[in-house]
Amino acid sequence: MSTSPPSGLRLAELALLTGATLEGDGDVVVTRVATLEHAGPGTIAFLANPRYRSQLATTRAAAVIVRPDDAAATTLPRLVAANPYAVYAKTAAALHPRPRPAAGLHATAIVAAGAEVAASASIGPGAVVEAGATIGARAIVGPLCAIGAGALLAEDVVLHAGVTVYPGCVVGARTIVHSGAVIGADGFGMAEEGGRWLKIAQVGRVVIGADVEIGANTTIDRGAIDDTVIEDDVKLDNQIQIGHNCVIGAHTAIAGCVGIAGSTRIGRNCRIGGAAMISGHLDIPDGTVISGSTGVYDSIAEPGVYTSAFPALPHRKWRRVMSQLRRLVELAARVDALEQRPKDAEGGR
């Protein structure tokens, strides 16, 4: 595995690579990314949030990435783009490429007869690939991963250490799965009989599209009958729970600690904030934004921004507000009674 530091890129090369406009000396060489505040020689920093604009005047970066409106605020060589954060992402990927293990099977890996592993794939120490599984070209299966029978990892998939992919599940091309994630465990399917629970066999799969990223310790349950589906370019943060038979639409991003109960369908291009809780058998349309810690108990008909979490208050003030909220039902009944009196009086004439 190569871990040598990057040799650096000329700013002109980065401009071509990222599609940004170059202003200033294109021969400046940068070797790593940095924040405006902590940048030093050989680094490139970016300004995406206006609150840090004053730091352009004091940064020690060799070059910066800015919006057109901010380009005149610095004399440093710069990459100018309408979306500097996206340019930063491409720049960081170019300057800090992930080290890649050598192709082949580690001596301690266990690959069952009948599994198909591309010659360019890498199977790490202690990893297990069961019979009938397929590992695509250039895929990386990290240490102690477990790939179930009949599972499919497409080309360029990266599984970090300790990922479990249950039998029959599919992971699409270029998808990245971080340590501890579990793909295809049984969904929470139980039937009650006589005060006891009967387990319902979960016979569906998890099918994950291309260019997905799945965070550490996230769990995605296999379908009860139909498949659980994660479409292309979905981004899942750490410690998310996705129940059986859910469908997550393409390009949706979900922050950490979100819980999604079974058979919920979330549309494309949605954004769901951390610790949101979403009940089962719901539909959420394309383009919906759900704020962090929001509870969603019914389907959403129209896209928009939805929030239910109570914002933080000083504890003493919170107690006063809660006391008033507890009286709302009583107050509403009193208002209804007051509104009814004129009608009663008119009816008595």
Predicted confidence at residue 201, as pLDDT, reads 97
SS (H, E, C) 240-296: CEECCCCEECCCCEECCCCEECCCCEECCCCEECCCCEECCCCEECCCCEECCCCEE
Q: Are residues 170 and 300 in the same domain?
A: yes
- What does the DSSP 8-state code read for residue 332? H
Residue 62: C-alpha distances to residues 20, 27, 37, 42, 59 (Å): 17, 11, 13, 5, 9
> Residue 2: inside a domain, yes or no?
no
Same domain membership, residue 80 and residue 108: no
Q: What is the pTM of this model?
A: 0.91
* Mean pLDDT of the chain, nearest integer: 95
Cβ–Cβ < 8 Å for 23, 12 = no
60-95 pLDDT, tens digit per residue, is 999 999 999 999 999 999 999 999 999 999 999 999
The catalytically annotated residue of 160, 178, 244, 251 is 244
Together in a domain, 115 and 64:
no
Domain finish residue from 95, 121, 145: 95
What's the DSSP call for residue 226?
S
Assess contact for 224 and 204: CB atoms under 8 A: yes
According to DSSP, the β-strands at 78-80 and 21-23 are antiparallel
Identify the CA nearest to 237 among candidates 224, 221, 253. Answer: 253
Domain residues for 338? 315-347
Domain co-membership, 320 together with 341: yes
The pairing of strands 158-159 and 176-177 is parallel
Do the domain assignments include residue 259?
A: yes
182 in a structural domain? yes
Q: Is residue 23, in this structure, part of any structural domain at all?
A: yes
In a domain, 232, yes or no: yes
Residue 251 is a catalytic residue: no
- For residue 90, give the CATH number of its domain: 3.40.1390.10
Residues of the chain with pLDDT under 70: 1-6, 342-349
Residues 166 and 260 in one domain: yes
> Residues 121, 135: contact at Cβ < 8 Å?
yes
Residues 302 and 154 in one domain: yes
276/335 same-domain check: no
122 shares a domain with 77: no
**Are 226 and 342 within one domain?**
no
Residues 205 and 267 in one domain: yes
CA–CA dist 225, 3 (Å, integer): 45
Last residue of a domain, one of 72, 95, 118: 95
Give the model's pLDDT for residue 343: 65
Q: Quick one: pLDDT at residue 344?
A: 61
Q: Within a domain: residue 68?
A: yes
Question: What pLDDT, on the 0 to 100 scale, is given for residue 346?
Answer: 63
DSSP secondary structure code for residue 211 in this structure: T
- What CATH number is attached to the domain comprising 281? 2.160.10.10
Number of domains comprising the chain: 3
The reply to whether 112 and 226 lie within a common domain is yes
Is the residue at 4 inside a domain? no
Nearest to 306 by CA among 336, 331, 273: 273
**188 and 55 share one domain:** no
In a domain, 15, yes or no: yes
